Amino acid sequence: MAASAETRKVIVLIGDGMADRPHPALGGKTPIETAHTPNMDRLALEGETGLMDLIAPGVRVGSDTGHLALLGYDPYAVYTGRGPFEALGVGMEVRGGDIAFRCNFSTVDDNMVVVDRRAGRITEGTDQLAAQVNGIFIEDVQVFFKESVAHRGALILRGPGLSPKITDADPHAEGATVHEVQATDPDDAAARRTARIVNQFVRLSYEKLRDHLVNRKRIAEGLKPANIILPRGAGVAPTIPDFNSHHNLQGACVAETGLIKGIARFVGLRVLEVPEATGGLDSDVMAMGRKVAEALQEHTFVLCNVKGPDVAAHDHNPQAKVDIIQRIDAMLGWLLTQIDPASTFIVVSADHTTACSFGDHTGEPVPIVIWGPEVRTDDVAQFGERACAKGGLGRIRGKDLVPMLTSLMNVQEKFGA
């Protein structure tokens, strides 16, 4: 529906992995605490702040599980293995009930012994190899396969009577023979059927790939051929309530990585592309802001994920993290000139902590500010991990955020009389 002038709207601006630990190179401050962020600080001053555990205190959250929580889902119920989320991440359409796998292009010899699990870390031609098996049927099951980065790919099986309760084809070791996939419970007919289909898929991949032009060329160049596809980590895509109808919102997403876009699409958000968004430290953050402002015309909930802070932290680079946070703040400042403050809420937060010192995600909570009409302001005047710890929101959970917002937006159904 088209939103009326009085319709309350919200922008949820997520700096991916933006929260951090105090860092010696920053004089014991975190990157957010170090960065010059006048706009985030204004939101803190005028809004309500707190700390948020995406899942629970101390839990090291991924970007996928973190965003599921931010979108109101319980990751423990919805995150059914890496397979479906790998497939979402490479841009495949995933439907509830699909059985999905992470896969490697590998190299086997004539006896099905794995010579190289990563097919010589192949970087080119996997799209042509993937096309050999994508879209085929095995029995009555439709097979979708898409290449990912390097030797990686994702497999989806779609059809009736399938189960993820099967073992891996990938033996997880070189020198071992490709494993015959089996049901983990021999009495589970759906699992037996799924195992049979995966085994057929693996054999078929070998038949279709071994003499493929891409591999003949590799062999001629002394490279290992990507002559088989080995699935692992079967998971069933969860059947979840549609975000928009469940929360009475019209949701859009502006993001950079395939994984966040995939999750957004899967829950029912409209994904808006920004060609200038690279997912790296060179990304055009302001272009993302312009897309957010545009999205707000026709949507009441706009999630924006800027990947840069996480990239800088994985690189152990606190100064680069400070820089990208300042660019996000500048984009926020521009957004504040575009919105109607009488009807628009803005949330700034992160999907997890990524510690520059450790170079990976850690379990500390993230700071959060909710700014907009009628929020219960507090005394906090700066946005940051330690400043927000004194805020009026206290310590909340990721999955509480959407209900808190739909309440403020006056669109939530009442529970009871």
Q: In the complex, which residues of this chain contact its own copies (CB under 8 A)?
A: 21-22, 30, 51, 55-66, 75, 79, 82, 85, 89, 259, 355, 357-358, 360-364, 374-378, 385-386, 389-390, 392-397, 400-408, 410, 412-417
Q: At what angle do helices 38-46 and 318-336 cross, to 10 degrees?
A: 60
Query: Whole-angstrom Cα distance, residue 39 to residue 339?
Result: 14
Distance in Å, CB of 295 to its own copies, minimum: 23
Distance in Å, CB of 317 to its own copies, minimum: 17
Is residue 219 within 8 Å of residue 120, measured between CB atoms?
Answer: no
Helix (H, G, I), strand (E, B) or coil at 385: coil
Which one, 15 or 83, has the nearer CB to its own copies? Answer: 83
Distance in Å, CB of 78 to its own copies, minimum: 11
Distance in Å, CB of 413 to its own copies, minimum: 7
Query: Whole-angstrom Cα distance, residue 91 to residue 93?
Result: 7
Which one, 65 or 300, has the nearer CB to its own copies? Answer: 65
For residue 203, give every residue at least 6 positions away whose Cβ sits within 8 Å of its Cβ, in sequence order, or none.
none
Distance in Å, CB of 406 to its own copies, minimum: 7
- Give the CA-trace dihedral at 324, 327, 333, 336, to 10 degrees: -70
CA-based torsion, 367, 372, 378, 381: positive or negative: positive
Q: Work out the angle at residue 253's Cα, subtended by the Cα atoms of residues 296 and 308, and round it to the nearest 5 degrees.
A: 115
Helix (H, G, I), strand (E, B) or coil at 269: coil
Distance in Å, CB of 332 to its own copies, minimum: 23
Which one, 49 or 107, has the nearer CB to its own copies? Answer: 49
Which one, 3 or 113, has the nearer CB to its own copies? Answer: 3
Which one, 297 or 410, has the nearer CB to its own copies? Answer: 410
Distance in Å, CB of 82 to its own copies, minimum: 7
Q: At what angle do helices 318-336 and 285-298 cross, to 10 degrees?
A: 40
How much is the CA Rg of the chain, to the nearest whole Å?
A: 23
Which one, 259 or 304, has the nearer CB to its own copies? Answer: 259
Nearest to 179 by CA among 98, 117, 224, 118: 117
Which one, 108 or 388, has the nearer CB to its own copies? Answer: 388
Q: Which amino acid is at 376?
A: R
Helix (H, G, I), strand (E, B) or coil at 144: strand
